[in-house]
Amino acid sequence: MTTRHVAIFMFPGYGHVNPTLEISRCLISLGHRVTYVVDEKFADRVAAVGAGAVRYTSRRSRLGEGTVTGEDIGALGLTFLRESMDVILPRALEALADDVPDLILYDLESFFAARTAAQRWDCPTVQLFPYVAANEHYALSHEVFDGTSESLQTCLDLLMEHLAAEEADPETAAAFLANFDSRNVVLLPRSFQPHGETFDDRYTFTGHSLPADRPGTGSWQRPSGDGPVALITLGTEVNDRPGFFTDCVEAFDGSDWHLVMAVGPGNLPAGRAAARGAANVEMHEWLAFNTVLPHASAVVCHAGISTMLEAISFGKPLVVITYTPEDRVNGRCTEELGVGVALPGHELTPERLREAVETVAHSDRIRRQVARMRTEMLAAGGPARAARLIDGWLAEPVAAARRPAPVPEFQDADT
């Protein structure tokens, strides 16, 4: 076994970094070294799996309250592109100048820093999708950016200036701006992928990003009684919504349901205020979902793929609350696959929420579909399969591994 060095560039969000951690753990167990170029707040998580870190401090904001628009996402993308140009790329090039990686893994949002570094280091790349993938026929950006976006146009202007300074030819420029690479690993089941039948052998769907060892035990204890349990979370990006948690408390007031609510860091005081006097509600900033999921009858969540797949891995039906354009894509998929119900966040009422939870918890049809999806995602191989694929690519002759990405039929500078 020859030890190789893998660098990982990921957008500084829990839903981007966390899905890579078990892949890294597997790569390290295979004898490779892994170095993340990562926001400081994820350094401990990276170190816990045995990886190194080139650290920076990200100044990007979250998506905030209310309905999230394509322009909101475009503004976030512009902020991160500028951070990639001014901070992340220079930091990576300096820190790894004497320890150049043999392969770079990256997500779409990190394409600028990852692909530019790969060109400087003459290093092969693999794109990771912790959410739905893109090809010549489908891109999430087509659903996110409806019409013109000032921020997106600014992104494109900055990228064209960069390519002009690099004197890139048209083919190189097209590949640099593409939404995908010549090798892509998608961390979800193929059936979750819109237009999944159009994705060829450049794409490997590994089903999920969950570790193999997830014992359903921990600090959480089921309360006395035999009433049903609902796990409720809005993840890390859109959880500044005290009204949502108030609706949840009101929806199940006086019922035999026990609510376990993860309200997110910093939101606990508002959450407790919403739940004051409700004996059937417990609030946490965060907790390990696998400690609750074995006991849950339903999961109410934002439309984050990682949370959705973790719930399905325990055979639990979903009530998906949608706030962003990407949420709506995942919510639509939830209903098309029959694994739950999607509710628009801006239309949520306690009555609609209660009805949706009761529906998914008692539907034999949804239960069967969840079981079928669980089998598909686990059979796809998960992080262990992803790591073995990457291990195989690392073993290839350098010339073969460094073939350029194909030129797409469209170019979309989705950041």
Containing structural domain, residue 183? 5-208+380-401
**Is residue 324 scored above 70 in pLDDT?**
yes
- On whether both 388 and 284 belong to a single domain, the answer is no
Domain count, the chain: 2
Tokens 């609750």 found at: 292
Q: Is residue 407 part of a domain?
A: no
- On whether both 179 and 250 belong to a single domain, the answer is no
Lowest-confidence range among 94-103, 132-141, 217-226, 379-388? 217-226
Instruction: Read off the tokens for 120.
Output: 């400087």
- On whether both 151 and 32 belong to a single domain, the answer is yes
Q: 1: pLDDT confidence band, cut at 50, 70 and 90?
A: low
Q: Is residue 345 part of a domain?
A: yes
User: Distance between CA atoms of 53 and 40, rounded to whole angstroms?
Assistant: 9
Q: 215: pLDDT confidence band, cut at 50, 70 and 90?
A: low
User: Distance between CA atoms of 139 and 134, rounded to whole angstroms?
Assistant: 4
Residue 12: how many other CB atoms lie within 10 Å: 21
**Is residue 408 scored above 50 in pLDDT?**
no
- On whether both 372 and 386 belong to a single domain, the answer is no
Q: Is residue 410 part of a domain?
A: no
pLDDT the model gives residue 267: 64
CB 74 within 8 A of CB 149: yes
pTM: 0.90
CB 133 within 8 A of CB 107: no
Instruction: Give 165-197 as a 3 state SS string.
Output: HCCCCHHHHHHHHCCCCCCEEECCCHHHCCCHH
Q: Is residue 192 part of a domain?
A: yes
Amino acid, res. 342: A
pLDDT the model gives residue 55: 97
| Of 286, 324, 297, 313, residue with least CA distance to 207 | 313
**Is residue 202 scored above 60 in pLDDT?**
yes
Q: Is residue 31 part of a domain?
A: yes
Q: Is residue 257 part of a domain?
A: yes
- On whether both 374 and 272 belong to a single domain, the answer is yes
- On whether both 397 and 292 belong to a single domain, the answer is no
Domain of 200, CATH number, reads 3.40.50.2000
pLDDT the model gives residue 409: 43
- On whether both 54 and 137 belong to a single domain, the answer is yes
Mean of the pLDDT values across residues 143-169?
Answer: 86
Q: Is residue 204 part of a domain?
A: yes
- On whether both 198 and 50 belong to a single domain, the answer is yes
- On whether both 120 and 12 belong to a single domain, the answer is yes
Mean of the pLDDT values across residues 359-367?
Answer: 97
- On whether both 304 and 236 belong to a single domain, the answer is yes
- On whether both 393 and 332 belong to a single domain, the answer is no
**Is residue 288 scored above 80 in pLDDT?**
yes
Provide the edge-to-edge strand list for the sheet that holds 296-302.
Answer: 281-284, 258-262, 229-233, 296-302, 318-322, 340-344
Tens-place pLDDT, residues 72-108: 778 888 999 999 999 999 999 999 999 999 999 999 9
Mean of the pLDDT values across residues 317-327?
Answer: 91
Mean of the pLDDT values across residues 21-30?
Answer: 97
Residue 139: how many other CB atoms lie within 10 Å: 23
Please state, rounded to an integer, the average pLDDT across all residues of the chain.
Answer: 88
pLDDT the model gives residue 240: 66
Q: Is residue 261 part of a domain?
A: yes
Mean of the pLDDT values across residues 360-380?
Answer: 97
- On whether both 124 and 267 belong to a single domain, the answer is no
